[in-house]
Amino acid sequence: MGLYHSTRSAADSVSSKVAIRTGIAPDGGLYVSDALGSEKLDVNALVGQGYHAIARAVLGLLLPDYTEDEIAACVDEAYTGTFAADEVTPVRMLGNAVSPVPTTAATGVLELFHGPTSAFKDVALQMLPRLMARAQASAGAGERIMIVTATSGDTGKAALAGFADAPGCGITVFYPEGKVSRVQELQMTTQEGSNVAVAAVRGNFDDAQSAVKRIFADRALARRLADAGVVLSSANSINVGRLVPQVVYYFAAYAQLVRAGKIACGDAVEFCVPTGNFGDVLAGYYAKLLGLPVAKLIVAADKNNVLFDFLTTGVYDRNRPFFTTTSPSMDILISSNLERMLYYLSGGDCELIARLMADLAETGRFEVAPELLAKIQEVFACGWADEDQVAAAIERCWETERYVIDPHTACGYHVLGQVAPAEGAAARVLLSTANPYKFPRAVLAALGHETPADDFACMRELERVTSTTAPVQLASLETARARFSDVVDVPAMGAYVEQAALK
Ligand SMILES: *Cc1c(COP(=O)(O)O)cnc(C)c1O
């Protein structure tokens, strides 16, 4: 039964297992399901449930060719003993001082960073390898999967942690040289495991991501790898198996708000999402389509505000300066998952999507019609923060809440204070995407303190001035041994993957 097809053509359909195993459609489009939203989840029933049960319900609906037992086993393996919080993704309520715009809506922070690598990517990347293992078993071909991933900083480590020593899988990670934090770099280069490869790329994230997409589309390479029994796949949020697990925490956050008496079941909630590749906020849109009462989804960008311009004017234009900011995981000018949003909001118009993406590839620019833009704006609001505003947001949150946030979360915190609450929103939830100790230098500076030359000294100083504790998996990097020091040019990435795959 075919369920997923490319955003750029509905001609061929595949099961969710094949979509997950292969990552991206052969024509370069992203896999989407036209069944999304035709069946709703029972929110009333879910609000009484814990994370595991909600995850089983969401995954069961969106990945229908997995058996109930397979889903239950995947959920158990991914979320038992891996997250340092009982709720997996706990909501922390803030005082109403959060908002320079007047609001009576309760405001909470959804902490997504309690997983093994301290970034929200863990929620999906603890799940993806389990889903992939079952998909591989069903394919029954005895093939090896090589995961190829470009990272702006956090996906790389979370994917390495998920796939290290996974049977039948290898993983190659590319990150932009000099454009991730020191802690992020060490997280990747110290990764243990016999099936992992890590390289810095001379270029920025968009260069690396575009090269990875070309590697997936390289037929000759695919043939050579197939001869050796290897297929390529992706752990980026272009993979359905990355996206679907992220839908779960929107429901889990809602359930926590109801149980805490902050909202009544049925009340609408607004979510503010720090955004780069549009994966996380797209998962919120999926949750809305599945019946979650979502008032508005607020897209929060950093100084690379290509999404803000698109959502306000309908013109997407990547021909602009690229800024390296204190929120590296949002330093992205080609936002891949926008393609899925455009697909759904255009009513499934594959021809339009193919044309827009061809425009983007050829000219770096595309434009949508006013009617489509209006539809998009009914669902998504937006804002962005420059570097001074990010630092000010970190400081304001600390001063008013005694709560330390990282620079990505701070973009959202700033935007939440700029965008008036949507009409009828009973609560506002800010998604917190990383632990502040991943970015100790930027956070310490924002709090107005001197920053020592060494990032681990910054970490200790941040502990001292805020009386909080760095996660042990970050503090212990100081003495960990780096295993990888490869640096490659963009054109050499394909050969690097081939070498790793044939090893
Ligand atoms: C990846 C990431 C983001 C952006 O998420 P997208 O799904 O790419 O929009 C934001 N913050 C942090 C810390 C991240 O790692």
Banded model confidence at residue 1, pLDDT cuts 50, 70, 90 = very low
Cα angle 500, 502, 503 (rounded to 5 degrees) comes to 65
Distance 433 CA to ligand 1 centre (A): 6
Of the candidates 437, 407, 466, the residue with the CA atom closest to the CA atom of residue 187 = 437
pLDDT of residue 99 exceeding 60, the answer is no
**Are the CB atoms for 171 and 197 separated by under 8 Å?**
yes
Residue nearest to atom 1 of ligand 1 (CA): 329
Q: What one-letter code names the amino acid at 178?
A: G
- CA dist 235 and 99 (Å) reads 36
Average model confidence (pLDDT) across the chain? 95
- Which atom of ligand 1 is closest in space to residue 113's alpha carbon? 13
**Are the CB atoms for 236 and 73 separated by under 8 Å?**
no
Distance 263 CA to ligand 1 centre (A): 27
pLDDT, tens only, 228-281:
999 999 898 889 999 999 999 999 999 999 999 999 999 999 999 999 999 999
- The torsion angles phi and psi of 171, rounded to 5 degrees, stand at -145, 135
Q: b vs e for 28-49, b when ≥16 Cβ sit within 10 Å of the residue's Cβ?
A: bbbbbbeebeeeebebeebbee
- The torsion angles phi and psi of 85, rounded to 5 degrees, stand at -155, 135
User: Could you give the residue numbers annotated as active site?
Assistant: 121
- Largest Cα separation within the chain, whole Å, is 63
- CA dist 170 and 161 (Å) reads 12
Q: What pLDDT was estimated at residue 141?
A: 67
Cα angle 319, 325, 331 (rounded to 5 degrees) comes to 50
Helical ranges in 290-433 per DSSP H: 306-313, 338-345, 350-363, 370-379, 387-401, 407-418
- CA dist 339 and 355 (Å) reads 11
Helical ranges in 293-364 per DSSP H: 306-313, 338-345, 350-363
- Across residues 194-219, what is the average pLDDT? 93
pLDDT, tens only, 321-338:
999 999 999 999 999 999
- Which atom of ligand 1 is closest in space to residue 278's alpha carbon? 9
Distance 194 CA to ligand 1 centre (A): 27
Q: What pLDDT was estimated at residue 236?
A: 87
- Across residues 110-132, what is the average pLDDT? 96
Of the candidates 79, 77, 22, the residue with the CA atom closest to the CA atom of residue 50 = 79
pLDDT, tens only, 402-459:
999 999 999 999 999 999 999 889 999 999 999 999 999 999 999 999 999 999 999 9
pTM over cut 0.85:
yes
Q: Which of 118, 154, 430 has the most ligand 1 atoms within 8 A of CB, as the residue to mutate?
A: 154
- Which atom of ligand 1 is closest in space to residue 277's alpha carbon? 8
Protein residues with CB under 6 Å of any ligand 1 atom = 119, 121, 154, 237, 274-280, 329-330, 408, 433-434
Share of the chain above pLDDT 70, in %: 98
- Across residues 130-141, what is the average pLDDT? 87
Residue nearest to atom 2 of ligand 1 (CA): 329
Count helices and strands (H / E) in the chain.
22, 16
pLDDT, tens only, 53-85:
999 999 999 999 999 999 999 999 999 999 999
What secondary structure does DSSP assign to 34-60, as a single string? TTTTTS---HHHHTTS-HHHHHHHHHH
Length of the chain: 503
Residue nearest to atom 8 of ligand 1 (CA): 277
pLDDT of residue 97 exceeding 80, the answer is no
Q: How many CB atoms lie within 10 A of CB 162?
A: 27
